[in-house]
Structure 1
Amino acid sequence: MQIGSILAVFFVVWWLSFVAVLPIGNRSQAEAGHVVAGTDPAAPVTPRVLLRALIATGIAIVLTALLLWSLTNETLHYYWNR
């Protein structure tokens, strides 16, 4: 695989991981009982976007590595192409 293809796969996997990680552990302002005036009550109290991006990056690295390994593994090719 070329580096551009690997980066494209990584970006897609990262984006899916990021979207999957975003809602985990969030508490809304309404649940916390402290709604800031002018904001949506469903907005998170502490979004921690950087932490979630780092978690998504770790997940994407592992999943992309597994995908690349499975595409380049000769043993898997033998069993798939029987």
Structure 2
Amino acid sequence: MKWQSALAIYFLFWVFSAFIVLPFGVRTSQELGEPLVPGQADSAPHLFRPWRVVKWGTIVATALFALFYLNYVNGWVTAEMFDFAHR
């Protein structure tokens, strides 16, 4: 696998992971007992921490990409294993 392909696949894993970890640890103002700002949605987070999302997204993406790359190198799961029509 070329390094450019690996980088692109890692980027896709990273974006996917960032959306996965985005809702974890979020507390609304109502849950914290803080007053709402006029016009604020009830479901809006009280304090959004983007660096937390970046950190955990990177950790999850690295783990998922490592599994993907190990499967690519070792061939644990292949496309032929999912070809149910021609068995």
Normalised TM-score (structure 2)? 0.75
1:72 aligns with 2:73: yes
| Letter paired with 1:7 | L
Indicate the residue corresponding to 1:12 in structure 2.
12
Point out where structure 2 has 5 or more consecutive residues left out of the alignment.
82-87
Deviation per residue, 1:24-69 (Å, 9 max, x gap): 1211123323212343332211211101211110111111111011
Indicate the residue corresponding to 2:84 in structure 1.
none
Point out where structure 1 has 5 or more consecutive residues left out of the alignment.
none
The alignment's C-alpha RMSD in Å is: 2.1
Higher helix share: 1
- SS of the aligned residue for 1:51 comes to helix
Aligned residues: 78
Matches within 5 A, 1:42-61: 42-61=43-62
Cα distance between partner residues in 1 of 2:23 and 2:9: 23
Cα distance between partner residues in 2 of 1:20 and 1:66: 17
Indicate the residue corresponding to 1:26 in structure 2.
26
Normalised TM-score (structure 1)? 0.79
